[in-house]
Structure 1
């Protein structure tokens, strides 16, 4: 599999897993959703805000425009639960056309951007893009662990389930 196909697959997985997680969270009470559950960003709400900041407000602009907006990793950028879910789903979908727009050789290059402190950075492009999708998987895993601890049903988010769905289509 070539790099573009691989990252498009990861981007589709990101859309699929984000949608499934947001749907599963609809059944969680407001108090449980905002409760400090011992996660790195405390609550489910805090963790989802961190995903919005990291994936869509920092890394997406870095890959799309080479810049980093100034926003804290633990910022509550969207206090409304429903709007946060919509922003996460919409943000996940934005990666697909961006990845499709890159020529094949782009994946072998460097990602040049300015970090939040204004410093010029250069990282391996493909490895850093892999970080973005791995980061989302990591934090979705934290949220599913919180769901389990709360006694809530937990969605299956393994990549293999998306692959099975796609193979049937």
Structure 2
């Protein structure tokens, strides 16, 4: 299967746009409200943000061969929201850089890794794993969107076709 790296460049831009929108919403909450257990899979807005960063760092450690700090699954990396927000913004930049460097041949290769949770090695096509990283972000941002609505905060339009640069690229 041949995947156009432009797809992932667009998804990296979408991730950046949505991360900024999520932070605008989270900035409207007190620290106590962000950390309140709201019954979500990762309990709170704060912990869900940490989980997105955790997964991005795990995958980028594998793809980019960098060494991002991660704690265990479900363990917050940052307790301080401002540090978390900055780390997510930095990760968005790294993901954009990563996506800009992708090639059809790199995406077509198989990647083998060992999960720390079970010690089992797995092999999958890289394009599938990169797609999973972006899908995972979207999945958990959907949970955040619900938590924000429940807290009375509307984050606005989240649909990819209505991302601002796409509107200007394709005329409305």
TM-score, normalising length: structure 1: 0.88
Q: Find the residue that maps to 1:112 and give its secondary structure.
A: strand
Is the Cα–Cα contact under 8 Å of residues 33 and 44 in structure 1 kept in the other structure? yes
2:131 alignment counterpart: 130
Deviation of 1:128 after TM superposition, in Å, equals 1.2
1:16 maps to: 17
Distance 2:3 2:123 in 1: 23
Give the number of aligned pairs: 167
Superposition deviation, residue 96 in structure 1: 1.8
Structure 1 residues 69 and 153: alpha-carbon distance in aligned structure 2, compared to 1, 3 A threshold: closer
- Give how far 1:63 is off: 0.9
- 1:24 touches 1:154 (CA, 8 Å); kept in 2? yes
Distance 1:128 1:66, change over 3 A: farther
Q: Where do residues 2-151 of structure 1 align in structure 2 (5 Å cutoff)? A: 3-56=4-57, 58-65=58-65, 71-116=71-116, 117-151=118-152
Which runs of no fewer than 5 residues in structure 2 stay unpaired?
Answer: none
Check whether the contact 1:12–1:96 (CA below 8 A) recurs between aligned residues.
Answer: yes
Classify 1:30/1:115 alpha carbon distance in 2 versus 1 (closer, same or farther; 3 Å): same
Q: For 1:121, what is the secondary structure of its paired residue?
A: strand
Q: Is the 8 A contact 1:66 1:114 kept in 2?
A: no
SS of the residue 2:122 aligns to: strand
Using a 3 Å threshold, how does the CA distance of structure 1 residues 121 and 71 change in structure 2: closer, same or farther? farther
Taking structure 2 as the reference length, the TM-score comes to: 0.87
**1:29 offset after TM fit, Å?**
2.1
Range with greater deviation from structure 2 (118-127 or 38-47)? 118-127
- Aligned partner of residue 63 in structure 1, secondary structure: helix
Q: Which moved more, 1:114-123 or 1:150-159?
A: 114-123
For 1:90 and 1:69, locate their aligned partners in 2 and report how far apart those are by CA, in whole Å: 13
- Cα 1:123–1:2 shift into 2, 3 Å: closer
